[in-house]
Amino acid sequence: MIDKYFPLISVIMLNYNGLAYIKRTIPPLLELDYPDYEIIIVDNGSVDGSLEYIQKFDRVKLLKSPRIRAKNFACNYGVKEAQGDFILLLDNDMLIIEKEILLDLYTMLEELENVGCISLANYNEGERKTKNYKLKLGYYFIKSLKKIDIEEVKKFHGSLTAYPEGKGLFIEKKKWEEVGGYDDHLLFGGDDNDLGIKLWMMGYKCYLYSKTLQIHTGMAEREDVKKYTIKWKEMFYAHLYTVTKNYSFFNMLITLWGLSIYGFIKSVYFALKMRHSGPFLSFFSGYYLFFKNLSVALEKRKDIQKRRKIKEDIFLYIE
């Protein structure tokens, strides 16, 4: 490494009953090739032996979130306690394979224009194709991309993306604080979408890191009907809430309509695929939460729309 100043980077990983994941994802973090970084694990109330495992590592700082099973709050809590000027925020099932990733991310941030955050491209373990790249928003809120070979994804390195991949993102701490970090009204979901939108509205840009692709090891969660049902309810509600808060009025109306159709179709699809009514009922549960908390979304909308520097919803047109 060149002899120059390198700022402290805080690597923050969220964990909830993820012992099987962190046994694989923590050790590589201890081997990163960067002169000054700290590792923080924020635990969300684990009872599976995760705490005992984490405490084996002197290098890892363990924080226990005051609000358990509230992912967005835990992320904000971890960033607040972090000492670094820059944050690498990771899910507990994100396996980092690039030892020099911190140096790469910091260098990338210095070289690109007006960086809000950098998203880590990744692929699901055991697959050779991925759609976890170049994330886009649209009139049914999230545009689905076709899967492409992981080697092909590398050509998108440094390109713009509408919002960061929540499994792994790199951001300057002061910009996180400027836009308010994650919305901790939401327990789960809406975190990365909301953060990216707020950064674009404040005049920043979101970029993709795909020089190397990291590995997402947690796909088994989607095969668990009970877990998926709960997550889909929270995610669908989060999407409705996020659109209401952040989009300009006309785009908000169109997107809520499109999102409702998309959410209904997706709920039916997964109910049939899993042969269980849970995902279908999640659609209605998500809408119930939305109407129940509509006043919260509208109150936050007033503040966000007043503070935004870019009046046009430019995040909708990222290609």
Gap between the Cα atoms of 319 and 315, Å rounded: 9
pLDDT of res. 189: 80
What is the DSSP-derived secondary structure letter of residue 160? B
pLDDT of res. 142: 87
Assigned token pair, 224: 């668990």
pLDDT of res. 224: 74
| Direct distance between the N- and C-terminal alpha carbons of the chain, in angstroms, rounded to an integer | 35
Looking at the chain, the domain(s) classified CATH 3.90.550.10 span: 9-218
Q: Residue 178: what residue type?
A: E
Residue-wise pLDDT tens digits, 2-17: 457 899 999 999 999 9
Task: Write the CB contacts of 166 (distance below 8 Å, at least 6 apart in sequence).
Answer: 91, 191, 192
Contact in structure between 122 and 97 (CB atoms under 8 Å) = no
Residue-wise pLDDT tens digits, 162-201: 999 999 999 999 999 999 999 999 987 889 999 999 999 9
Assigned token pair, 136: 């886009």
pLDDT of res. 222: 56
Q: Which CATH superfamily is domain 9-218 in?
A: Spore Coat Polysaccharide Biosynthesis Protein SpsA; Chain A (3.90.550.10)
pTM value is 0.93
Residue appearing with tokens 């994802």: 25
